[in-house]
Amino acid sequence: MFDDHRSKKVIIVAHCLLNQNAISDGTADYPGQFTELIDLILANQIGLIQLPCPELICLGLERNDPQGVKRPILQENTRIRGLLCQVNNLERLQDKAQELVTQIEEYRGHAFQVLGLIGVNRSPSCGVETTTKGNKEVNGPGVFIELISEACRKKGQALKMIGVKTSQKDEAIKIVCKFIEETN
């Protein structure tokens, strides 16, 4: 089955790595996407699963405050984290995390490789190694990544994750290169 031209390899990426238009006001590093990083994935013939942007879904493009851009970034991120942690938003994101796990199960059930997930460090939502809490960048996952990890755990799906920063292009490419080598 599926014995055609597909590579049977997919990777999950945070929404804004493919679409910088979704990112909070004042924080986009590219006009459209993080091209070099996406090109690297495509050159390895790996299909892309683009996560939804949790902040856009729950709080809109303005993240519930058109003045957000005026705050220092870590303060603004902390405000956003607080809003995402409201019960109604957590429930929405839990559903999205569950949808992702359903996709992972489907791919793996048909012997496809799901290499892992690339998040965005420092994000209160999509950080993997670091996130923002209490007006600081701290170790630990963002709200959405935590929900995805929990949903994976419940279904017994191990999912490797790494985080990058779009502002640190060379470092990000190095990290993703290594990740692809190790998981491919």
Window of 60-68, 94-102, 121-129, 174-182 that interacts with ligand SF4 by CB under 6 A: 121-129
Contact present, 73 and 167 (Cβ < 8 Å): no
Q: From the CB of 23, what's the least distance to ligand SF4, in Å?
A: 4
**Closest residue to bound ligand SF4 by CB:** 16
Binder of ligand SF4 out of 9, 11, 55, 128 (CB under 6 A):
55
Binder of ligand SF4 out of 13, 120, 151, 176 (CB under 6 A):
120
CA atoms lying within 13 Å on the CB side of residue 122: 16
Q: From the CB of 88, what's the least distance to ligand SF4, in Å?
A: 17
- Other beta carbons within 10 Å of 157: 15
Q: From the CB of 111, what's the least distance to ligand SF4, in Å?
A: 29
Q: Smallest Cα–Cα separation from 136: which of 84, 75, 85?
A: 75
**Secondary-structure percent of the chain, ordered helix, strand, coil, rounded to 5:** 45, 15, 35
Q: From the CB of 148, what's the least distance to ligand SF4, in Å?
A: 11
Q: Smallest Cα–Cα separation from 20: which of 50, 43, 65?
A: 50
User: Which residue type does 97 have?
Assistant: A
Window of 104-112, 119-127, 128-136, 153-161 that interacts with ligand SF4 by CB under 6 A: 119-127
The binding site for ligand SF4 (CB under 6 A) comprises 14-16, 22-23, 53-56, 120, 123, 125-126
